[in-house]
């Protein structure tokens, strides 16, 4: 089934693991030059997308479909470091182009932030590495409270060309400014704390 360009109510969005029945929707998301422009992968056909589901997504420790009424329209993932690096995790997010400009990625990332620090043991820092030219993803990071830390120049090779990255963008960096236990309450969505006002100060 193809994704339909339609207005989405943010209250209908939820996250869940990918299922085998999601293949067609997954193909629609990843088989797009627009969506894959700043990703490490190129547009995928059905066979490549199936391999991605079987050997990457299913095996990933934290990879969720962004769903509207149980249909995937994108995904969000968190990769936690190993050993001495387990204190940090890297977040990535993609939304099918038919659903852009509706605040869906922002809403999904907020959902992740609200629980990820309690879900992943030892996680204290969540970061996003975003290509300089990817302004949409940068805006999502900013809207969800991530702090821009700097540009990592010539950081990686993306589809044959070295790109500078405008992050690390970090949603936990402000813990250097306030007590860590307060920061954790903030990220867990404690009702007595206004995280967005704090982050703007």
For 105-150, what is each residue's pLDDT tens digit?
999 999 999 899 889 998 888 888 888 888 898 899 889 988 888 7
Q: Is residue 1 part of a domain?
A: no
Predicted pLDDT at 39? 83
Q: Is residue 21 part of a domain?
A: yes
How many angstroms from the chain centroid is the CA of residue 79? 10
Instruction: Round to whole Å and give the CA distance between 4 and 41.
Output: 23
Residue written as token pair 């030059």: 33
Instruction: Round to whole Å and give the CA distance between 61 and 53.
Output: 13
Looking at residue 84, the DSSP 8-state letter turns out to be G
How many angstroms from the chain centroid is the CA of residue 132? 16
Tally of residues, the chain: 201
Taking residues 12-31, report their average pLDDT: 90
Q: Is residue 5 part of a domain?
A: no
Backbone angles phi, psi at 142, to 5 degrees: -65, -40
Residue 186, pLDDT above cutoff 80: no
Predicted pLDDT at 192? 41
Instruction: Round to whole Å and give the CA distance between 43 and 141.
Output: 24
136 contacts 113 by C-beta, under 8 angstroms: no
Taking residues 23-34, report their average pLDDT: 88
Q: Is residue 170 part of a domain?
A: yes
Read off the tokens for 105: 């990625």
Burial of 125 (0-12, 13-18, 19+ CB in 10 A): middle
How many angstroms from the chain centroid is the CA of residue 3? 20
Q: Is residue 167 part of a domain?
A: yes
CATH number at residue 106: 3.40.630.30
183 pLDDT tier (thresholds 50, 70, 90): very low
Read off the tokens for 102: 């509706």
- Strands 13-16 and 63-68, by their bridges, are antiparallel
Domain span at residue 109? 10-200
**Beta-bridge partner residues of 127:** 90, 170
46-50, 90-94, 166-170: least confident range: 166-170
Instruction: Quote the number of domains for the chain.
Output: 1
Predicted pLDDT at 111? 95
93 against 2, higher pLDDT = 93
Q: Is residue 4 part of a domain?
A: no
pLDDT-above-70 percentage for the chain: 77
Q: Is residue 179 part of a domain?
A: yes
Average pLDDT, the chain: 78
Looking at residue 133, the DSSP 8-state letter turns out to be T
Predicted pLDDT at 104? 96
Q: Is residue 109 part of a domain?
A: yes
Predicted pLDDT at 165? 65
pLDDT in tens, 73-84: 999 999 999 999
Instruction: Round to whole Å and give the CA distance between 174 and 170.
Output: 8
Q: What share of the chain is helix, strand, coil (3-state, %, to 5)?
A: 40, 25, 40
């Amino acid at each position: 089934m193809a994704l339909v360009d339609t207005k989405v109510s943010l209250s209908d969005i939820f996250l869940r693991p990918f299922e085998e029945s999601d293949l067609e929707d997954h193909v629609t998301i990843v088989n797009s030059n627009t969506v894959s422009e700043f990703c490490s992968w190129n547009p995928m056909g059905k066979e490549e997308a199936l391999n991605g589901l079987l050997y990457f997504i299913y095996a990933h420790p934290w990879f969720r479909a962004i769903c509207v009424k149980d249909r995937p329209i994108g995904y969000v993932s968190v990769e936690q470091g190993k050993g001495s690096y387990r204190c940090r995790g890297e977040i990535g997010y993609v939304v099918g182009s038919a659903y852009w400009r509706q605040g869906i990625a922002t809403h999904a990332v907020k959902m992740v932030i609200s629980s990820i620090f309690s879900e992943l043991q030892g996680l204290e820092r969540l970061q996003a590495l975003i290509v300089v030219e990817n302004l949409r993803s940068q805006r999502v990071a900013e809207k969800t409270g991530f702090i821009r830390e700097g540009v990592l120049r010539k950081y990686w090779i993306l589809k044959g060309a070295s790109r500078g990255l405008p992050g690390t963008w970090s949603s936990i960096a402000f813990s250097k400014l306030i007590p860590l236990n307060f920061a954790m309450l903030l990220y867990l969505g404690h009702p007595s704390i206004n995280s967005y006002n704090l982050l703007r100060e």
